[in-house]
Structure 1
Amino acid sequence: MDKIKAYLKKYKKQLLIALASFFGLIIVFVLSVYLGAWGHIPSEKELSELNLNEATEILSNDGRLIGKLYINDRQPIPFDSIPETLINALVATEDARFYEHNGVDNKSLLRVFFKTILLQDESSGGGSTITQQLAKNLYPRKSLGSLGIIVHKLRESIIAKRLEDVYSKDEILLHYLNTVPFSDNTYGIESASKHFFNKTASHLSIVEAATLVGSLKATYYYNPKLFPKRSMQRRNVVLYQMKNYKYLDEEAYDTLSKDTLKLDIQQYSYNDGMAPYFREHVRLYLKDWLKEYNQKKDTTINIYTDGLKIHTTINYEMQKLAEEAIKEHLSKLQQQFEESYGEKAPWLTNKLLINTALKKTTSYKKLANASLNDAQIMDSLQKEKEIKVFEWDSISKQNLSTVDSLKHYLKYLNCGFVSVNPKNGALQTWVGGIDYEFFKYDHVIQSKRQVGSTFKPFVYTTAIENGLDPCTYFSVEPVSYENLKGWTPENASKDEDEEYMNYSMEYALSNSINTIAVKVLEKAGIKNTILQAQKMGITSALPEVPSLALGTAEVSVMEMAKAYTSYVNNGIPATPFFITKIEDDHGNVLMEHEKPEENEKAISDTTREVMLEMMKATINSGTATRLRGTYGLKNDIAGKTGTTQNNKDAWFVGITPALVSVTWVGLDNHQIGFKTTAMGQGANAALPIFGLWLQKMNKQKELDAITQTTFKTPSKEILESLDCNPEKRDGFFKRLFNNPNKKKSRKFKSKK
């Protein structure tokens, strides 16, 4: 002891200097943190003007969330939308003395400080109050080396105390719950609630609130979707803490801790969730609209961070049911399609097709631009790598080369489906393809395909509009047109090729007889038909050729929908629209849809009513009768099927008094079609989507106002104009001098 005293006496001065230096360094260190040398320390003024990034919400016509645009998936909510049970779970688990401290729990802070510096225990983190965690959420940490944890804790303590000076305890809880990151990259309690439980935070149960609060300890490790057992264990820890701090009694704890985990996952990411093709169309529209708006108003509104509310025309239930119907039908049709080709499928055996498609890929073009020769390119494209792969029954990770991946995706049938309110043009559903993550191309508005027999109503409309009697009969016999290099239109079914038979226009249209459609086009005139289609809303270039009658024109699904609205909108095509209004995050209306000037009347009331009756016959006795038989639909429906050459495109247009719906099904590669007409015709490949969809809608009482509407009874004059036998055989003398075995040949003469 004497030796120690002597030592201290001898080196007292040096020890005091060392001790003073040590504490001086600590003071300088703390001061450097306070002054922002290790990272920005916001002032109280800055903290009082917090402006959090907020996701833009895309809403259905009844205000339900169908998607978001964001950098951080955050939807701030007011304090009165946060249930008390959620706050109790948070405080009990994360910061039991929250209402007692001034932002910092000094005991915990000292523990972290000394364990980290003196004991070099890197796992000694923790001890942060809710206010400190809020500081970390608002001003994220950066990598600062070995002193990082100390710097972060000091910095967050300073910010936390300033937050407590600026905000009340309730406001701090509100800011925390609106900013804290939850599992699956969701930010804030509202986004997490909607993602995991498909409900707003205000409707969370105690168990659901405890599950989300529990995940905050480690958002990946306790992700309820990925690790349900782990999540339940952690949830029960939260419930125990609530019991421990008297927020739950023993009986409630015993009951709730035995509850099972019930999730209702909703996806709002770019590739997933409801109506992704439609949401992308909205995004592109907003991008252009905001650029003009910001310039005009001298504002800096951002699509992804400023919490806009985009109110759309999409019907939530109808959209959901449409996506279900497409998956249900196409997953089965895809299997039948692949089986029909077997091992000789073109996407497996046709080298020219595969190589042509390969040269259009980004991977091939990149290698070609790097000056590699064909052999080197092919060698590179044959190398396997792990990729996500789409299949109807699952999405998996597989080791595939670029070539194998191409072959896999070449085989997939795709689709476009849209429905529109014909009275005002409001789009009700929009499905641009089978899966947005793997097939980005939108088949509603980007794709243009041959429309087949769905063009025939425009031909018949033109003929009737130009004075042709609806009861005019046409011979079903094929004709070889001399001035068209012997072109001979034929019918898909041989049933119509009966000798000496003539059919009425109604029968010919409803049964989609090709030979008669061309003859009606002669009467109508090609130029007249093109002009008529344009009046009804077709903007794509239409070929001035006789095959136009059979639908060789390439038109988008959206154009077809607009044109067909003329038949249920008093002869006036309705211009489709999809946004009703745009609001900022405070509810101020930035844009509201204004009813455009009404388009000119495209067809007379008489023609419209006649055509509607003809297309009702398509459903009741023509090519679309399976809607009545197979699907048992009793709704008022008119419509038209369509199939293109070599079974490349299948179409169906369904018309009800409240909706015009257009469906297209086919492959993106135009060189591949259905193996048989039986499989690839519109009635088999496209119509079932509409049939299943309407079946599902009929079961939803809230959709009765749309599904149970009826067509207005046609006038007596209209019914009389169509009151003729559907077929008429040639008379005796005409049959006597007509050789059925002799091929009919003449010139095609289109009406001028």
Structure 2
Amino acid sequence: MEKIEDSKKKELSTNRKFLRLFWKLFGAGVAFVILIFAFANWGIFGAMPSFDELENPESSVATEIISADGKTLGKFYLENRVPVKYEELPQHLVDALIATEDERFRSHSGIDARGTMRAIFSAGSSGGASTISQQLAKNLFHGSSGSSNKLFRVIQKVKEWIIAVKLERQYTKNEIIAYYLNTVDFVSNAYGIRSAANIYFNKEPKKLTVEEAAVLVGMLQAPSRYNPRFNPDRAENRRNIVLAQMAKNGKITEAEKEKYQAKPLKINYTPETHTKGYATYFREYLRDYMRKWVKENPKKDGSTYDIYRDGLRIYTTIDSRMQEYAEEAVEMHLANLQKEFFKQQKGNKNAPFIQINQAETKKIIDRAMRNSERWRQMSAQGKEEEDIIKSFDVKTKMAIFTWKGEKDTLMTPRDSIVYYKHFLQSGMMSMEPVTGNVKAWVGGIDYKHFQYDHVAQGARQVGSTFKPFVYATAIDQLGMSPCDYIYDGPFTMPKGRYGIQQPWSPKNSAGKYYGSVTMKYALAQSLNTVTARLMDRVGPKAVIDLCRDLGVKSDIPASPAIALGAVEITVSDMVAAYSTFANQGVYVKPRFVNKITDKNGVVLFESRAETRDVMNKDIAYAIVKLLEGVTEGGSGGRLRYTGSGGAGYHTMTGYPYAFKNPIAGKTGTTQNNSDGWFIGMVPNLVTGVWVGNEDRAAHFKSTVYGQGATMALPIWGIFMKKCYGDKTLYVSDEDFERPANISVLVDCWKRAANDSVIGGSSKRDSLAPPTETVPTEFDF
């Protein structure tokens, strides 16, 4: 008995020892876990986010460029992310997310205990049990570890738990949902749900359908694996799993699940890049503007805003509808006109250049080679100049621009330079004359292939579009009016006059003279000798002074020849100058930014119109009436008529515009047909268009195709047709405002009784047809 009792005592003692050991080990385990959590919370295993960091987590947010009508034109970013609020998310997207990623999201406090225990006991085979809050913690503060070290992964998971609980205390459930969806990388340069919705479906998140929302939620498990663009079958299968989870959780019915699952996977892939989309040239101009702005407008702590990470919102004056119409107008006309240019270059061994020799052609090509990206990169690699030049004659695979889309081809870089020199380029800007708000900006035909901006960057000779400045100076300084007569005949300015070195004898473009004509008729017909006589009376300095007041920044030589447009000016400066006439003599500096806010909506900058009085409103209105004459019977008359006009007009057939409202405008054509211009005005919109090749030596052979009325005016006509067709734009079709008690005679019909033969020469005031032949839209 004693032996049995001793044995029992020993067994009991042993059990007690094991029990004590168990509790010691258990206590040690609990203490270890507590210490792990404590050490993690104290930052011993790496810094943990502070309260401020939890309140304002560091994330890269794109700067958004917003049009005047509330559309996103583009973004500046390192990560293409623009956050949305919970209210901007459709309920079915939220339901899909919770049903698939975290069924008990609404009931836990950051850690799903049931899911965690299931994951532990199944060794992770039944899922990782990461809640949405934990996934947000990982996305915000340490990302995916990617480490195979189990201890490190455990520590990372502990940190996730701690951060997740803190996030739950800091934010509401709805805020966590929105925050999480804003942090996810959906690949294809889509960071966050808004970019993903726009890139994969070309719509805002709020407009996602149930099945589209299921596609994006399905991507969360493995964005590349379930990418609907590259792996549509996997994406569709994953979408159907998400829909099944929604049905399981009662968010959709079984019938709805089957209906959505039966639908084919459809996406509308719309990549967002700096070279794609609308207003690419404007966006690049805005980027340079913002680089300067952030330097001049630091944060309160003295640091500089980062336009790629700080989530600024730039509210521009650009109207997305007008921008779209402007780009469409350029494409519609130039794609057509380009065919004619290529046709005329056939047989030209020096194509696309005309009237220059091979040596001059070589200089142009050599200059283009040295300015190319290929030359820059090879030079940076330390390549010898001889080797770089040789590389331009080695055939290379490349994607080249065509008006029908990019084309893959095999071509030497030298030949590609010659090919691109063939293309007609364009600069176009549209502006409200009263506010200075720039509504449309087209700097070229394709930013990816042609990055030179012909609106603000490129100044070109303006031709006859300069003449209204001469006329305005004459009306102001000489007290003349559009109805005054002036002699149109051979004219020579003697040597020494205004410092000229040789006698100057300009001729009219058609070689014809009309005797005594009104100023209105002279400008409508763009008579060179009349403009030269006016310049002789007022002198170059007075005209240059007026141009400065009108905002022209280009260097203007003090030469009488500027009267005929021998001066290079940007499209933006020309539009602003003409806008002064439409704005009753008040110059308004072009304005393209309304305001800038930070990512929280705090206004950092608001622009104000910069104005100055330039001329009396009577004089400004007189110029408007002169310019109306250009479209009533001058080179701009083709904007109006598709059939026979009334008395004093001519028959113009084949032109698709048929505008009946008042239009003031001026065409311009430079020597050798290198530059074609048209600037057109209605009371609340002034639009300037330039067309030409990159190099002046490349141009049409004849004025029939090379003049402004053929190259530029049709773009204005197409654009305005589209604008008038959109009744939401409210583009004016009314008369220009006439000053009360105007002191300048502008109603030339009042002199009709005196339009008799004087001195054997017929006085001309009726607006006769243009002297040049102009092809219609349908000739090409």
CA distance in 2, matches of 1:107, 1:471: 95
1:269 lines up with 2:285 in the alignment: no
- Name 2:404's counterpart in structure 1: 393
Q: Is the Cα contact below 8 Å between 2:494 and 2:502 reproduced in 1?
A: yes
What are the superposed Cα offsets for residues 475-505 of structure 1, whole Å, 9 maximum, x if unpaired? 44444555254544233335xx15x644322
Q: Which amino acid aligns with 1:144?
A: S
Helix, strand or coil: the match of 1:52? coil
- Name 1:132's counterpart in structure 2: 134
- Name 2:529's counterpart in structure 1: 515
1:312 lines up with 2:294 in the alignment: no
CA distance in 2, matches of 1:649, 1:308: 39
Where do residues 245-260 of structure 1 align in structure 2 (5 Å cutoff)? Answer: 245-259=249-263
| C-alpha deviation, 1:351, in angstroms | 3.8
Q: Find the partner of 1:428 among 439, 460, 464.
A: 439
CA distance in 2, matches of 1:263, 1:393: 23
Q: Find the partner of 1:558 among 556, 562, 572.
A: 572
Q: Find the partner of 1:666 among 692, 704, 726.
A: 692
1:354 lines up with 2:365 in the alignment: yes
Q: Find the partner of 2:585 among 564, 571, 574.
A: 571
Helix, strand or coil: the match of 2:579? helix
| C-alpha deviation, 1:302, in angstroms | 2.8
1:451 lines up with 2:462 in the alignment: yes
**Alpha carbons of structure 1 residues 189 and 360: separation in structure 2 relative to 1, 3 Å:** closer
**Alpha carbons of structure 1 residues 486 and 231: separation in structure 2 relative to 1, 3 Å:** farther
Q: Which amino acid aligns with 1:710?
A: D
Helix, strand or coil: the match of 2:426? strand
Coordinate RMSD, CA, aligned: 3.6
CA distance in 2, matches of 1:296, 1:150: 41
- Name 2:94's counterpart in structure 1: 87
CA distance in 1, matches of 2:111, 2:380: 59
Q: Is the Cα contact below 8 Å between 2:539 and 2:560 reproduced in 1?
A: no
Q: Which amino acid aligns with 1:402?
A: P
Q: Which amino acid aligns with 2:745?
A: I
Where do residues 550-699 of structure 1 align in structure 2 (5 Å cutoff)? Answer: 550-596=564-610, 598-600=611-613, 602-629=614-641, 630=655, 631-699=657-725
CA distance in 2, matches of 1:111, 1:508: 94
CA distance in 2, matches of 1:51, 1:371: 40
Q: Which amino acid aligns with 2:111?
A: G
Q: Which amino acid aligns with 2:692?
A: G
**Alpha carbons of structure 1 residues 83 and 504: separation in structure 2 relative to 1, 3 Å:** same
Relative to the length of structure 2, the TM-score reads: 0.81
**Alpha carbons of structure 1 residues 261 and 328: separation in structure 2 relative to 1, 3 Å:** farther
Helix, strand or coil: the match of 2:244? helix
CA distance in 1, matches of 2:506, 2:340: 29
Where do residues 61-72 of structure 1 align in structure 2 (5 Å cutoff)? Answer: 61-72=68-79
Q: Find the partner of 1:707 among 732, 736, 740.
A: 732
Moved more, 476-485 or 363-372: 363-372
Moved more, 584-593 or 256-265: 256-265
What are the superposed Cα offsets for residues 126-170 of structure 1, whole Å, 9 maximum, x if unpaired? 664433332332222355356587776565455445544654543
- Name 1:106's counterpart in structure 2: 116
| C-alpha deviation, 1:551, in angstroms | 0.4
Q: Find the partner of 1:235 among 236, 239, 250.
A: 239
**Alpha carbons of structure 1 residues 170 and 565: separation in structure 2 relative to 1, 3 Å:** closer
Q: Which amino acid aligns with 1:106?
A: T
**Alpha carbons of structure 1 residues 46 and 410: separation in structure 2 relative to 1, 3 Å:** same
Q: Find the partner of 2:508 among 460, 482, 491.
A: 491
- Name 2:196's counterpart in structure 1: 192
Helix, strand or coil: the match of 1:394? coil
Q: Which amino acid aligns with 1:355?
A: D
Helix, strand or coil: the match of 2:517? strand
| C-alpha deviation, 1:66, in angstroms | 1.8
CA distance in 1, matches of 2:281, 2:294: 20
Q: Is the Cα contact below 8 Å between 2:437 and 2:591 reproduced in 1?
A: yes
Aligned length: 700
Moved more, 724-733 or 667-676: 724-733
| C-alpha deviation, 1:310, in angstroms | 1.8
Helix, strand or coil: the match of 1:334? helix
Q: Is the Cα contact below 8 Å between 1:540 and 1:554 reproduced in 2?
A: yes
Calculate percent identity across the aligned residue pairs.
37
CA distance in 2, matches of 1:286, 1:100: 46
Q: Which amino acid aligns with 2:518?
A: S
CA distance in 2, matches of 1:402, 1:112: 61
What are the superposed Cα offsets for residues 598-641 of structure 1, whole Å, 9 maximum, x if unpaired? 402x2233322222112111112110122113212223211001
Helix, strand or coil: the match of 1:492? coil
Where do residues 133-212 of structure 1 align in structure 2 (5 Å cutoff)? Answer: 133-138=135-140, 139-144=142-147, 156=160, 159-160=163-164, 162-164=166-168, 166-212=170-216
CA distance in 2, matches of 1:232, 1:50: 34
Q: Is the Cα contact below 8 Å between 1:337 and 1:675 reproduced in 2?
A: no
CA distance in 1, matches of 2:170, 2:692: 61
What are the superposed Cα offsets for residues 281-304 of structure 1, whole Å, 9 maximum, x if unpaired? 322222222222217763553322
Question: What are structure 1's unaligned runs of at least 5 residues?
Answer: 1-15, 116-123, 735-752
